Homo-oligomer: A and B are copies of this chain.
Amino acid sequence: MKQPGMLELPVLGLLKDKEMHGYELRKQLGAMLGPFWQVSWGSLYPTLRRLTKAGALEKVETETPRRARSRSTRSLARSNAAPALSGGRKKNVYRITSQGEEMFAAMLEETAAAVDAEHFTLKLAFFRYLQPETRLALLERRRAYLIVKLAEFKNNLRDYRERIDSYTLSLHTHGMASTESDIAWIEELITQERAPRTGAAETTNV
């Protein structure tokens, strides 16, 4: 996660499912987006604050879940609870608001830009919230983008093949292969999106 404005979508998307505090959110983010996206605290917490200020999130009043076990003796002096003492630990749990839901939907649908790998990945992770046509539109935009890039790779290679060393050549060749593999993957997703007539029956015809 190096690009700006990339956190809002997955934060809202995850909180849509279930209210969470920052720490847990980060874990879920990691699980959902894979090991290449590590979110730093310095970007997560400010994002939560920003979204809260914007009215997309609200803090949940943590209802003192079964008071810390009286095990340790030294916790007695704390009876005059200041705010934020709440449950055993101080946890800031966030819940998405209806305004946040709208924002999420808007960000997710906005087919405009978002053809680059990172935006696309992020949206794909929340495809279940989109309608099939929108999914197809997104997939096809991404495919078109990749096809353009592939062509640019080829032109590049055509124009410069003589002047580049073997390492750079390898870089380009592998880049092209990866792009082709990505395109094939997208096409598979497109096929799957079109194929499974939502009807339950899938017998015969083989």
Contact = CB atoms under 8 A, between A and B. Distances in A.
Given A31-B156, A164-B32, A170-B189, A178 B175 contact: no
A174 interface: yes
A168 B32 contact: yes
Q: Is the interface of A mostly helix, strand, loop or mixed?
A: helix
A30 B164 CA distance: 13
A30 B152 CA distance: 10
A34 B156 contact: yes
Contact of A31 (B30, B121, B124, B159): B159
A172 interface: yes
Contacts of A34: 152-153, 156, 171-172, 175
Nearest to A160: B31
Contacts of A175: 34, 36
Interface string A1-42: 011000000000000000000000000001110111000000
Contact of A35 (B32, B125, B156): B156
B121 A35 contact: no
Interface residues of A, number: 34
Contacts of A168: 32, 124-125
Interface in A169-190: 170-172, 174-175, 177-178, 181-182, 185, 189
29 contacts: A2-B2, A2-B3, A30-B156, A31-B160, A32-B164, A34-B152, A34-B153, A34-B156, A34-B171, A34-B175, A35-B149, A35-B156, A36-B149, A36-B175, A121-B171, A124-B168, A125-B167, A125-B168, A125-B171, A127-B165, A127-B167, A128-B167, A167-B189, A170-B185, A170-B189, A174-B185, A178-B178, A178-B182, A181-B181
Closest 10 CB pairs of A and B: A35-B152, A127-B167, A35-B149, A2-B2, A174-B185, A31-B160, A128-B165, A2-B3, A34-B175, A125-B168
